[in-house]
């Protein structure tokens, strides 16, 4: 459990990845009360340095970590690595906020998006899970509408940027784009198919159901966050040639009828949401609009004519911030408050 203090000894594990680097920037910008900050990564990244206020921090090898010196861990690693270091960290008394999928569906591990179920962030718990980036931004947009009118069904199609896969995927999109524009054959390493000038819909697919792992995560995690195992939701996930920020086309059906103006007003008043929706002036959010922004952006609120009490939403957010690093730090802020 996390003991109340004026300042905390914090560690970022996976500090040199895209999410870890974003965590470092957000800790500084939000002035999180830090006594000492530790940066850990794999042996190959050890020795890299980062500036944190006026201090130069050196990345340490995770294998050499002394967890007894740490109060709070922000995990930004793979599920495999998270399962490896977590038992040692818990034994040393650390509190962990993990960004991988390792513990999300564990019954005793809270899966938290602060705007939705932040009350679950309590000091008696030792480990907390961050949801999938697509799940996080979607539930922020759905929660106020669910509270106001009770959502009966959700159908979501995601348009996910390559940064959700990591630095290697960002580099692959850059290199493939250069190759195609130079009339060269692009090489595929991170994705099995070319991502430049393309869309990929069939990664990590279950051969029996046809569902991808990403689609299964969205369904299962949304049900857990809303504390409703029977919540009706289906998902299709698409990887698109965008560097950063995820878009989502969401259709919902509610028990109570909401007019478009009512829905816009509810969303505009909700925490963590920015509404950009003016059809007459062609105002709506795009991935570029949301890069580096903390809020979830909602636009193109429309009536779904195919069903009773139906609405369409276009939802966009920075997947490295609200979808990952920011959400983890918001959970930490809930704990220390």
Please state which CATH number belongs to domain 8-131+324-336. 3.40.50.720
pLDDT, tens only, 138-163: 999 999 999 999 999 999 999 999 99
Q: Distance (Å, rounded) from C-alpha 136 to C-alpha 126?
A: 21
Neighbours of 266 (CB within 10 A): 17
pLDDT, tens only, 185-210: 999 999 999 999 999 997 677 788 88
The answer to whether 49 and 58 are in contact (CB under 8 A) is yes
Asked if residue 228 has pLDDT above 90, the reply is yes
Q: Domain coordinates of the chain in residue numbers?
A: 8-131+324-336, 135-319
The answer to whether 291 and 244 are in contact (CB under 8 A) is yes
According to CATH, the topology of domain 135-319 is Dihydrodipicolinate Reductase; domain 2 (3.30.360)
The enclosing H or E element of 328 equals helix 326-336
pLDDT, tens only, 298-308: 999 999 999 99
Q: Is 146 a catalytic residue?
A: no
| DSSP state letter for 337 | -
* Angle of the 213-225 helix axis to the 133-149 helix axis, nearest 10: 40
Q: Distance (Å, rounded) from C-alpha 4 to C-alpha 71?
A: 10
40, 96, 121, 281 from 130: Cα distances, Å:
19, 10, 12, 36
The mean pLDDT value for 73-99 works out to: 96
How much is the pLDDT for 5?
86
pLDDT, tens only, 19-33: 999 999 999 999 999
How, if at all, do strands 8-13 and 72-75 pair?
A: parallel
The answer to whether 74 and 23 are in contact (CB under 8 A) is yes
Residue 284 neighbours by CB under 8 Å, 6+ apart: 276, 277, 278, 299, 300, 314
The mean pLDDT value for 212-239 works out to: 96
How much is the pLDDT for 198?
97
The answer to whether 254 and 232 are in contact (CB under 8 A) is no
192, 235, 260 from 266: Cα distances, Å:
42, 24, 10
The active-site residue, picked from 3, 58, 94, 133, is 133
Please choose, from the candidates 62, 114, 115, the residue with its C-alpha nearest in 3D space to the C-alpha of residue 73: 62
* Angle of the 133-149 helix axis to the 260-269 helix axis, nearest 10: 120
26, 41, 111 from 335: Cα distances, Å:
17, 25, 14
Residue 72 neighbours by CB under 8 Å, 6+ apart: 2, 8, 9, 10, 11, 94, 95, 96, 97, 332, 335
Burial (Cβ within 10 Å: 0-12, 13-18, ≥19) of residue 211: middle
Q: Is 3 a catalytic residue?
A: no
The mean pLDDT value for 50-79 works out to: 95
Share of the chain above pLDDT 70, in %: 99
How much is the pLDDT for 262?
97
* Angle of the 18-29 helix axis to the 326-336 helix axis, nearest 10: 40
The answer to whether 2 and 21 are in contact (CB under 8 A) is no
How much is the pLDDT for 2?
76
């Amino acid at each position: 459990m996390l003991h109340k203090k004026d300042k905390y000894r914090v560690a970022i594990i996976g500090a040199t990845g895209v999410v870890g680097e974003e965590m470092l920037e957000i800790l500084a910008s939000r002035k999180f009360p830090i006594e000492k900050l530790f940066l850990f990564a794999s042996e190959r990244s050890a020795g890299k340095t980062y500036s944190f206020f006026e201090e130069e921090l050196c990345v340490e090898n995770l294998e050499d970590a002394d967890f007894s010196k740490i109060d709070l861990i922000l995990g930004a690693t793979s599920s495999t690595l998270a399962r490896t270091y977590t038992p040692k960290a818990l034994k040393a008394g650390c509190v962990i906020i993990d960004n991988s999928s390792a513990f999300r569906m564990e019954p005793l591990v809270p899966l938290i998006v602060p705007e939705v179920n932040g009350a679950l962030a309590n000091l008696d718990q030792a480990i907390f899970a961050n949801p999938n980036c697509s799940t996080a931004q979607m539930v922020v947009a759905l929660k106020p509408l669910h509270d106001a009118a009770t959502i009966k069904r959700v159908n979501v199609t995601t348009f996910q940027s390559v940064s959700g896969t990591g630095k290697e995927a960002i580099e692959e999109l850059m290199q493939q784009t250069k190759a195609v524009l130079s009339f060269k054959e692009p090489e595929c390493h991170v994705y099995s198919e070319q991502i430049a000038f393309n869309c990929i819909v069939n990664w990590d697919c279950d051969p029996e159901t046809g569902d991808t792992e990403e689609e299964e995560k969205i369904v299962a995690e949304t049900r857990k966050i809303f504390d409703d195992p029977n919540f009706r939701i289906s998902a299709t996930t698409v990887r698109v040639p965008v560097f950063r920020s995820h878009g989502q086309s969401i259709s919902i059906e509610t028990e109570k009828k909401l007019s478009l103006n009512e829905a816009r007003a509810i969303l505009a008043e909700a925490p963590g949401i920015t509404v950009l929706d003016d059809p007459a002036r062609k105002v709506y959010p795009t991935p570029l609009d949301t890069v580096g922004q903390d809020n979830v952006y909602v636009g193109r609120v429309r009536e779904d004519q195919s069903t009773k009490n139906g609405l369409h939403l276009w939802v966009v957010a920075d997947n490295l911030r609200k979808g990952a690093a920011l959400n983890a730090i918001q959970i930490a802020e809930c704990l220390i408050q």
